[in-house]
Structures are given as C-alpha cells and as structure tokens.
Amino acid sequence: MARGLSGQGCEVHVHIGPQARGLIAESAWVLAGCRTPDGRPVDAPAVHLAGGGPEVPGVLVAVPETGPGQRLALRLDGGSARLEPAEDGLPFVEAVLDAVVAAYGRRVGGLAGRRIVVTSGGTREPMDPVRFITNRSSGKMGFALASAARDRGAEVTYIATSAQVPAPAGVRVVLAPSVAQLRAAVLEATGSAHVLVMAAAVSDFRPAAVASGKIKKGPSGMSLALETVANFVPEVPAGVLRVGFAAETDSDLDRAAAKMRQRGFDLLCLNDVSRPGVGFEVDTNKVWILDGTGVRVETDVLPKSAVAHRILDEVEAFLHVDATL
C-alpha cells in the first residue's frame, strides 16, 4: 500500500508484535515508514486490537515539534475518539497517513497558505420533529475534496450536513444540517477564505411550515406544501473563488453553463447521475468542469479522490491567473 505525501511517496510497513505493555494488552503496531517533505523519517504506530481486546484509549495525533534531523513521532493521545479495529488493520494505516499529511501538508503544496471552505452532504429540511426532506448525497465527494485540499497545503474548513460520515483528519469541522444553518456557516467561514467549494447537495425546496409535533398518519394521506429555497451563494464575500456542483440526469452543458451564471459560481462541476458509477452513494465520479468560457476539463469515471484533485488542479490554475492580473 502506498500514499502520496505532498508529491512524496510513502511505503507502509506492517509489524506485529507485543509492544506497549501496560498500555494495551495483545496489541499490534502498524508502522508507516515514510519521510516528510523536509526529509525526516516518520515513526507512526497505530493500534490494531486482537481478539476483541480493550478499546483504544485515544486517537493518533502528530507531534511535529521535534528539531531538525530528528524523527517525527505519532503518539496515542488521550481523548474520547477511538479507532475501530479491522481485520486487515488498513484503516489504522490510513489514520497514520492522514495524521502525517495533516501535520505537514500545510507547509508544502500548491494551496499552501490558502483557506478553503468545503461543504459536504445533503441538507435536511424538517417537516416535523421526526421527519425531514433530503437527497441521496453521501458526502463522499466533499470528503474527498477536503482531504485533497488539505494534502495540497490548504487550511480547510469542512462544513458537513451530517456527522454520519467521518470528517477528514486535520480540518476544522462545522455541522450544518439545514440550508439555513449551512448558509450561516458558509457566510461566516468565507469571511476570511480564498475558495468556497459547494460540494453539498443543497435542497431546492423545503416545507413551507414545520409542524411542532409529529404529523400523524391518517386514512386519506396528506399534502405537503413546499417553498423554494433561496440561493445564498451571491452573498459570499467578493473575491472568494466559488466552485459549485450540478447533479443532473443528463449532460446538458449549455444548461449547466446557465446555472453557473445564475448561481454566481466561477467554476461549476457537472455530473450526470444517471450514468453508472457517477454521483451519489458511489466511490467514483465523472465531471465536466466549466468556467465562463466553456468546458475546461472532462474527466473519465475515476475514484472521487482523483476527481477531487482534478478539480483542485483547476482551482490552483484559476487562483494563479487571478494573482497575476
């Protein structure tokens, strides 16, 4: 298994042995043997529980305060969060590498020094205290974009509509389930940001009124009045690069371009969710990336992590051109 670290390769070596006696019984350690961008080797232990042992008493965090030429260590730090065991231990390897990238990504990469806001997931508009209207967005594309931006050195604010999908390591997390909450969180975060990536699937409609108690089931069904949700992207401060998404059931590029202009985006990523392996609830995606002049990029169906980097390639190019004007 390998993982890039700001353009550097990382080989992961798994070592099993009785270590950390007195801390965790019957433990194994995962060692991520790689080097940071400044050439220091990394010792990164992660716990994998054997035979249903005790819970991990903390989470992996980076300790980057060592001096030049010394080894960077990752340690188990006390806290309420814990890593869940898995048979192959690979989730722990991912956690190790996420921690390494989170510690070093901000110092290198094409987005170093940039502040990026990424929204993720499908908004939830309540009908009553029990039910809500939502969509099929899983948040996987937003997760991939936040991770990729972090890996490129950005300071990332990740605004999620739900906590059901874990947030990437090394980002600031804000929970905003409804459109109203998302709007407030976005406007606050973009006050000091360079880029907004609206990967969240924002509801177009919401109930005109929210019942104070659970709506009871009746013999003749029910009617629900909906109202249109206003677009808040034009309220984002001027000077913030705005990247949007359009999930459609076709690939009408002219309509996508019109939506980009109407919604106030600088770049728009169109995906045709009627195609296999594209859009919601899958790990792959295909996008057309548009700007004011037309299509900049058309990707193949790729893992969402790869699509995220293609999108950020265009963000970096856009920021570079803007900086030279």
- 276: domain CATH number? 3.40.50.10300
Give domain status of residue 195, yes or no.
yes
Q: What is the mean pLDDT of residues 305-314?
A: 94
Residue at a domain's end among 80, 107, 134: 107
Angle at alpha carbon of residue 202, lines to 192 and 156, rounded to 5°: 30
Encode pLDDT of 43-65 as tens digits: 444 443 333 333 333 333 333 33
- Active-site annotation holder among 135, 231, 271, 285: 135
Same domain, 224 and 143: yes
CA atoms within 13 A on the CB side of 318: 25
Same domain, 170 and 191: yes
CA distance 96 to 296: 35
Encode pLDDT of 162-220 as tens digits: 987 789 888 999 999 999 999 999 999 999 999 999 999 999 999 999 999 999 998 88
Same domain, 137 and 273: yes
Ranges of H-type helices in the chain: 90-104, 140-151, 179-189, 253-263, 304-324
Q: What is the pLDDT of residue 85?
A: 37
Same domain, 176 and 287: yes
Question: How many domains, the chain?
Answer: 2
Local structure of residue 169 (DSSP, 8 states): T
Residue 150 has pLDDT above 80, yes or no: yes
Give domain status of residue 5, yes or no.
no
Same domain, 70 and 149: no
Give residue 130's domain range: 115-324
Q: What is the mean pLDDT of residues 130-151?
A: 94
Same domain, 185 and 241: yes
Give me the chain's average pLDDT, please.
76
Q: What is the pLDDT of residue 196?
A: 99
Q: Cα-flanking dihedrals φ and ψ of residue 189, to 5°?
A: -70, -35
Same domain, 81 and 200: no
Residue at a domain's end among 45, 73, 107: 107
Give domain status of residue 141, yes or no.
yes
16 falls in which pLDDT band (50, 70, 90)?
very low
CA distance 309 to 314: 9
Q: What is the pLDDT of residue 71?
A: 39
What tokens does 137 get?
């967005």
Task: Determine which of 74-78, 302-306, 310-314 has the lowest per-residue pLDDT on average.
Answer: 74-78
Residue 75 has pLDDT above 70, yes or no: no
- Residue 135: active-site member: yes
Q: For the chain, what percentages of helix, strand and coil (3-state, to nearest 5) are there?
A: 25, 30, 45
Same domain, 50 and 197: no
Same domain, 133 and 205: yes
Residue 309 has pLDDT above 90, yes or no: yes
Same domain, 194 and 295: yes
151 falls in which pLDDT band (50, 70, 90)?
confident
Q: What is the reported pTM?
A: 0.72
Same domain, 166 and 37: no
262 falls in which pLDDT band (50, 70, 90)?
very high
Give domain status of residue 207, yes or no.
yes
Residue at a domain's end among 107, 139, 159: 107
Q: What is the mean pLDDT of residues 249-269?
A: 94
Give domain status of residue 4, yes or no.
no
Task: Determine which of 2-11, 120-129, 194-203, 238-247 has the lowest per-residue pLDDT on average.
Answer: 2-11
